[in-house]
Amino acid sequence: MANVLYDALFGVHAGKQTPFLILGDDTVITHDAFLKQAAQFAHLITNAGLVAGDRLAVQIHKSPQALALYAACVQAGVIFLPLNTAYTGSEISYFIENSGAKMVVCDAAFVGALTPITQEFSVQLEVLNSDGSGSFADKSKTLPLDYPTAERGGDDLAAFLYTSGTTGRSKGAMLSQNNLLSNAQTLVEYWQFTKDDVLLHALPIFHTHGLFVATNVCLLAGCAARFYAGFDRDALIKDMPKATALMGVPTFYTRLLDDPRFDHALTQGMRLFISGSAPLLAETHKLFQERTGHRILERYGMTETNMNTSNPYDGDRRAGTVGFPLPGVDLKVCDPETGATLPIGDIGIIEVRGPNVFQGYWQMPEKTREELRQDGFFITGDLGMIDPDGYVTIVGRGKDLIISGGYNIYPKEIELVLDDQPGVLESAVIGVAHPDFGETVVAILVKHSDETIDLNQIKESVGQGLARFKHPRSYQIVDALPRNTMGKVQKNVLRDTYKSLFA
């Protein structure tokens, strides 16, 4: 047996002096140099006592080393668990305890917040900074440059990605080697990536989009990625003439369109702009075509499923739709109550099945059973329809979820914090339209009749407990929340009331 994911993504590039990562100052990291660093990291992980199947959690800023740590985990058979760098200590604590991670690698900036947690759960803590410094990097420097790759089959787990839930409790989505590999293979072919491509890689690498879609596609195609620490409009505009493709969330595209330098001439060497993680407004699609002559290719995915659908590479990329089910993916629209498949044109819950669909939630068999059917169909919670031409459109969400700048935010998690605050009787958190982030968070608070609400103190508590991107951008204090006859809060009424808050 071999290591199917390592061999296909990384092993094939052993010894190659071809460019893999190109940094902002045009420094090139070859496949060979990257793999040597990954091998040293794999030795370090193994020397620290981690064996295949153990979990290694990382909270590090985006850098070539951060990506090499992903490769090292795949090579050592260790399950990679990347965490958003915006998470606070209290958010991280849950992931470390729940996953049973044996080692945490973090940026020096997070050591203060993470030390009490790693001590409490007796987990090793190492530092890896984006400039290449830190205890993890130091200890790896003298280790061998090649590593005896751990044998792993397609069903073995490669990564855990935590995804929040409507109950406010995060679940670790278990992704197998084959989940990741099969999806990358499909995407390379569908989007026609070759070794001659140069991808502008400005997404974070702690989520599916930047880590698996963007990175694995590049590795499999053997092409280079221009690698940015984050979205940097000036850098993207400067480098666009040297690139062929961009993957982004809709905010990338609205921000680029806001810049007059982003025009037809600048994009003529580009062959593909891909958007996903959040709905792309038809208006953005249209403006983009008018400005550049390119039609953005929109696709749809989830942490649990990788990519499910895509607009065609050749053929009509229809604004407002997410295209067709990818090859190998079965997709149906079902009645939310009965689960029965609905006819073409009807709106229901999207369910998907295929080699891309995850293995279940870590140590949550009941949650897994609720969302993953016996016959392999995963209930996405997205409301959609299929039109007579086969295009899938997402029309809304059956789940209470806000997507801000491509980050998922579950209102329940914020409501739990708000409901605990002095003076707050109850709360409702909603998403409203936002010109930059697509949607943003608004909190509606109901005051205890005989108490006062101190908004500054509430903001402080929210700041301590929750990542910055989850913070409400507006607080509204009301006498009562609108409810239906069953007593359920009518969030649609609230969304309508506050829809123009950021217009």
62 binds ligand MCA, rule: CB under 6 A:
no
Dmax over CA atoms of the chain, in Å, equals 72
Choosing from 82, 405, 411, 465, the residue that interacts with ligand MCA (CB under 6 A) is 405
Q: Which helix (H) or strand (E) holds 439?
A: strand 438-447
Beta carbons within 10 angstroms of residue 491's beta carbon: 17
Half-sphere exposure for 3 (CA within 13 Å, toward CB): 22
H helices of 10-126, where?
A: 31-47, 64-76, 89-99, 111-120
Choosing from 37, 208, 216, 380, the residue that interacts with ligand MCA (CB under 6 A) is 208
- Which residues 6+ apart lie within 8 Å of 32 measured at CB? 13, 14, 15, 16, 17
Nearest distance from C-beta of residue 280 to ligand MCA, angstroms: 11
Return d(Cα 361, Cα 405) in angstroms, integer. Answer: 25
Per-residue interface string for the shown chain with ligand AMP, residues 378-407, x marking contact by CB under 6 A: --x-x-----------x--x-----x----
Phi–psi pair at 300, nearest 5 degrees: -135, 130
Nearer to ligand AMP, 251 or 303 (CB): 303
Nearer to ligand AMP, 222 or 248 (CB): 248
Phi–psi pair at 327, nearest 5 degrees: -55, 135
* Separation in Å, CA 212 to CA 74, 104, 274, 378: 13, 21, 14, 19
Name the binder of 322 from ligand MCA, ligand AMP, none, CB < 5-8 A by kind.
ligand AMP
Choosing from 302, 334, 379, 446, the residue that interacts with ligand AMP (CB under 6 A) is 302
3-state secondary structure of 348: strand
Return d(Cα 429, Cα 433) in angstroms, integer. Answer: 14
Q: Report 313-332 residues binding ligand AMP (CB under 6 A).
A: 322
Nearer to ligand AMP, 77 or 276 (CB): 276
Name the binder of 163 from ligand AMP, ligand MCA, none, CB < 5-8 A by kind.
ligand AMP
Choosing from 3, 98, 404, 421, the residue that interacts with ligand MCA (CB under 6 A) is 404
300 binds ligand AMP, rule: CB under 6 A:
yes
Nearest distance from C-beta of residue 204 to ligand MCA, angstroms: 5
Residues in contact with ligand AMP, counted by CB under 6 A, come to a total of 18
Nearest distance from C-beta of residue 49 to ligand MCA, angstroms: 31
Q: Which two tokens stand for residue 453?
A: 């609400």
β pairing state of 306-310 and 324-325: antiparallel
H helices of 191-232, where?
A: 217-221
Beta carbons within 10 angstroms of residue 47's beta carbon: 11
Nearer to ligand AMP, 41 or 206 (CB): 206
Choosing from 136, 324, 407, 410, the residue that interacts with ligand MCA (CB under 6 A) is 407
The sheet carrying 157-163 orders its strands as: 124-127, 103-106, 55-59, 79-82, 157-163, 171-176
Nearer to ligand AMP, 77 or 301 (CB): 301
Nearest distance from C-beta of residue 403 to ligand AMP, angstroms: 6
Q: Which two tokens stand for residue 159?
A: 């990564």
H helices of 222-341, where?
A: 233-239, 250-257, 282-292
Q: Report 256-285 residues binding ligand AMP (CB under 6 A).
A: 276-279
Nearest distance from C-beta of residue 50 to ligand AMP, angstroms: 27
Strand runs (DSSP E) across 354-437, as ranges?
Answer: 378-386, 392-397, 402-404, 407-409, 424-434
Contact segment (CB under 6 A) with ligand AMP among 18-26, 301-309, 333-341, 371-379 equals 301-309
Return d(Cα 398, Cα 412) in angstroms, integer. Answer: 14
Choosing from 77, 301, 325, 431, the residue that interacts with ligand AMP (CB under 6 A) is 301
Per-residue interface string for the shown chain with ligand MCA, residues 435-474, x marking contact by CB under 6 A: --x------------------------------xx-----
Type of residue numbered 432: V
Name the binder of 405 from ligand AMP, ligand MCA, none, CB < 5-8 A by kind.
ligand MCA
Return d(Cα 80, Cα 68) in angstroms, integer. Answer: 11
Q: Report 257-286 residues binding ligand MCA (CB under 6 A).
A: 276-277
Beta carbons within 10 angstroms of residue 286's beta carbon: 13
Name the binder of 251 from ligand MCA, ligand AMP, none, CB < 5-8 A by kind.
ligand MCA
Burial class (CB in 10 A: 0-12, 13-18, 19+), 431: buried
Name the binder of 380 from ligand AMP, ligand MCA, none, CB < 5-8 A by kind.
ligand AMP
Return d(Cα 162, Cα 94) in angstroms, integer. Answer: 10
Contact segment (CB under 6 A) with ligand AMP among 44-52, 143-151, 193-201, 295-303 equals 295-303
Nearest distance from C-beta of residue 406 to ligand MCA, angstroms: 3
Nearest distance from C-beta of residue 278 to ligand AMP, angstroms: 5
Name the binder of 382 from ligand AMP, ligand MCA, none, CB < 5-8 A by kind.
ligand AMP
Choosing from 185, 251, 254, 292, the residue that interacts with ligand MCA (CB under 6 A) is 251
Q: Which parts of this chain interact with ligand AMP (CB under 6 A)?
A: 163, 208, 276-279, 298, 300-303, 322, 380, 382, 394, 397, 403, 408
Q: Which parts of this chain interact with ligand MCA (CB under 6 A)?
A: 203-204, 207-210, 230-231, 249, 251, 276-277, 301-303, 404-407, 437, 468-469
